[in-house]
Structure 1
């Protein structure tokens, strides 16, 4: 476990627990809002399995923006087939970068829906399951590919480590790190010195030092080597340096402190379903789909992501595979601004 010492004073998350009674829901009739982007004006943008994104305006009105390629790719809403917009990021001009878990490519969509393919292969072969995209202050794109196994559900196993990270800069796309156990969301710290990788089936966060040329070195586990029940999915930093994380299949929200300790902020899962999942996962074999689909708590079923928003970045929004709205609550500490902020 990596330990980081600092003199920041008392952690604002010390003793904090999310009050289920204080959770409010934003949006309605959403379809798989796996990832959420927040803007300064109060807008939210959520991935949607119908083949695009939903824009939720500050006044609560919303519209579904379908990709021009979405219907052609088969917008089934199924978790295992068709187009599945997953991780999102804003390009410098405001376009939406879409990691499409269904079409296995990185796409770029205007806010009116016009879509083009940014990347669909690397080193002469298909990318695989493109999960997430992150833009940094140098306008470089960091892309995660969870696995090359199809169907991807076969990769929910401790035995597979074929995930990787792609960097796209002025030199073009290239793999900068591989051998991850289902690469999921990634984040950069405040100084962009380290890249943090959620290794879903590894139940942990791995970090790598970012060199000026974009190469990655000094790979190490950040925080506990096992984050407990569920599998880590989404991550986000707050201003204090806590790394918040969602644990899908257990619907837990946790945080890794700058000292490397684990804080439990919310446990909202179905205990019996989570227990069955953990038993199946521990065998090392792919977890059956019916066991996966039985998971999910009442607040944000199959919790996948955590996003800071609001005028002072002190509102937390949760994404999920099976929720139809976006749960939100007040945080005792503001989030770290993303590059588009």
Structure 2
């Protein structure tokens, strides 16, 4: 494994544990706030299962913005019959102009939504075939859009097993859409390092992070595992870099928050899972068969049930927000190290 550069001085995460008594909460009556975006003014945006995003101001006031068909977009060009049929916003990113890029886990496509809710379809097929179970979207500094497809299986719960590897990464740029990497075990969140030299991939059912060197044309090379080949109990979901170079990760179903240091060491920051339920999940997962959904439903902890994502925000990027598939609000706490600014903080 090639090491990555880090800031000078000792790693501020070594020895750090999340103090449960310091955890505060924002938002109310949210539905499946899987992905959270933070803006410099303190505004948060959370994906919501009602079909859109919730805007949460720094004072706690909030507004639900639902997706509506864009009257200027010809939906007949899309394979879907209705824009809102089965909608389930999952991963979010900001377009350069502030619109939302939405990887819709329900409609299986990449969508674009204005801040008033007008929504159009950016991508739902590739090489003439359905895109698959779209999970996450990320925009880079060159305005290219990177999309993860977790699996081609529907329902997605059948893909929660240790043997299936049908996930992929799609790049959408001025040349169009193309698959740039595949063979992943449930492709989930992706992130770039500070220089966008490497792309890091959360392989959920692989229990690991894989990374690629990014070439100028968007092709990916030098595939390798970053950090431990097995991150332990649960399966990895969301990832985010801090400014030191630690890669934070959520382990869903065990509800652990961990970090991989630049040297590849694993740090445990929070363990909020139910030990008995986690053990049942691990036993079922080890069989290689899909984990029964009733086993999944027993998993999770009180801080952020089915812990799925980690986001840095606040004016100094030192506030950590957690997203959960079964959460109804957003827990947050202070970090000893600031997050790595995302592209929308720098533009």
Structure 1 equivalent of residue 76 of structure 2: none
Q: Quick check: 1:134–1:186 contact (8 Å CA) kept in 2?
A: yes
Structure 1 equivalent of residue 67 of structure 2: 67
Q: Quick check: 2:204–2:237 contact (8 Å CA) kept in 1?
A: yes
Query: How far does residue 74 in structure 1 lie from its aligned partner after superposition?
Result: 5.4
Q: How does 1:184-195 map to 2 (within 5 A)?
A: 184-195=188-199
Quickly say closer, same or farther: Cα 1:52–1:115, change in 2 above 3 A. Answer: same
Q: How does 1:192-211 map to 2 (within 5 A)?
A: 192-211=196-215
Query: How far does residue 289 in structure 1 lie from its aligned partner after superposition?
Result: 0.7
Give TM-score, length-normalised by structure 1. 0.96
Q: Does 1:256 align with 2:256?
A: no
Q: Does 1:32 align with 2:32?
A: yes
Structure 1 equivalent of residue 54 of structure 2: 54
Residue of structure 2 aligned with 1:104, choices 85, 90, 108: 108
> 1:281 & 1:272 partners in 2: Cα distance?
14
Q: Quick check: 1:252–1:267 contact (8 Å CA) kept in 2?
A: yes
Query: How far does residue 58 in structure 1 lie from its aligned partner after superposition?
Result: 1.5
Q: Quick check: 1:2–1:260 contact (8 Å CA) kept in 2?
A: no
SS in 2 for 1:258: coil
> 2:122 & 2:63 partners in 1: Cα distance?
25
Q: Tell me the alpha carbon deviations over residues 227-262 of structure 1, each in whole angstroms, 9 at most, x when there is no partner.
A: 000000000000000000000000000000000000
Quickly say closer, same or farther: Cα 1:296–1:168, change in 2 above 3 A. Answer: same
Structure 2 equivalent of residue 15 of structure 1: 15
Residue of structure 2 aligned with 1:180, choices 184, 191, 200: 184
Residue of structure 1 aligned with 2:297, choices 293, 298, 301: 293
Query: How far does residue 4 in structure 1 lie from its aligned partner after superposition?
Result: 4.3
Give TM-score, length-normalised by structure 2. 0.94
Q: Quick check: 2:189–2:237 contact (8 Å CA) kept in 1?
A: yes
Q: Does 1:325 align with 2:329?
A: yes
Q: What root-mean-square deviation, in Å, do the aligned CA atoms of Structure 1 and Structure 2 show?
A: 1.4
SS in 2 for 1:340: helix
Residue of structure 1 aligned with 2:145, choices 124, 141, 145: 141
Q: Quick check: 1:4–1:260 contact (8 Å CA) kept in 2?
A: no
Q: Quick check: 1:5–1:259 contact (8 Å CA) kept in 2?
A: no
Q: Quick check: 1:146–1:181 contact (8 Å CA) kept in 2?
A: yes
> 2:115 & 2:84 partners in 1: Cα distance?
20
How many equivalent pairs are there?
335
Structure 2 equivalent of residue 78 of structure 1: none
> 1:123 & 1:169 partners in 2: Cα distance?
15
Structure 2: 5+ residue stretches without partners: 71-80
